[in-house]
């Protein structure tokens, strides 16, 4: 199974920590969102979209990129956020599925967050993602890559 993860990890590099370990352990290609437009996705069996969360959904550049993924593609979603209370994949999933893309799963965990008012209190979710959360992402990828 040949996979690539397109990522956007701008705040504290939380999401990139997940991406880097998955890539290392499972021989997955990666590309930052700034280079994603030049990637030929047709050569991949599965595409991962990985980003932080802002205002309850994936970063806007990732949402825009999702709309360009070819119909018939298989996609998985990864995210980190200060408070993983759920619902963060709804918007991007709706975009993908409306274009004929199959979403095969998602994994999210806490990530250190100092955005907006959280900066005043020194941030939330300090120390995240933890090693256990990172390994959870690796395990998640291993499971969905075997379901081909």
Q: What pLDDT was estimated at residue 123? A: 62
Number of structural domains (the chain) is 1
The domain spanning residue 58 has which CATH number?
3.40.50.360
Separation CA 146–CA 123 (nearest Å): 37
Return left, alpha or beta for 125; rule: phi > 0 is left, psi -120 to 50 is alpha, else beta.
left
Q: What pLDDT was estimated at residue 53? A: 87
Domain of 32? 3-146
Tens place of pLDDT per residue across the chain (148 aa): 899 999 998 876 789 999 999 999 999 999 999 999 999 999 999 999 999 988 889 999 999 999 999 999 999 999 998 777 778 999 999 999 999 999 999 999 877 666 666 666 666 557 778 899 999 999 999 999 986 5
Please report the beta strands in the chain, taking only residues with DSSP state E, as ranges in sequence order: 3-8, 29-32, 46-54, 57-58, 74-81, 102-110
88-119 in b/e burial notation, b at 16+ Cβ within 10 A?
A: bbeebbebbeeeebebbbbbbbbbbbbbeeee
> Which H or E run contains 94?
helix 90-98
């Amino acid at each position: 199974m040949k996979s690539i993860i397109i990522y956007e990890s701008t705040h504290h590099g939380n999401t990139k920590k997940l991406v880097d370990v998955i890539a290392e352990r499972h021989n997955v290609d990666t590309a930052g969102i700034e280079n994603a437009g030049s990637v030929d996705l047709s050569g991949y069996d599965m595409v991962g979209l990985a980003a932080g969360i802002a205002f309850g959904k994936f970063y806007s550049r990732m949402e825009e990129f999702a709309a360009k993924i070819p119909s018939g593609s298989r996609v998985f979603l990864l995210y980190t956020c200060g408070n993983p209370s759920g619902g963060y994949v709804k918007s991007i999933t709706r975009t993908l599925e409306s274009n004929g893309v199959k979403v095969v799963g998602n994994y999210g965990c806490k990530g250190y967050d100092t955005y907006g008012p959280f900066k005043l209190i020194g941030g939330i979710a300090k120390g995240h993602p933890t090693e256990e959360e990172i390994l959870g992402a690796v395990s998640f990828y291993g499971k969905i890559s075997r379901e081909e």
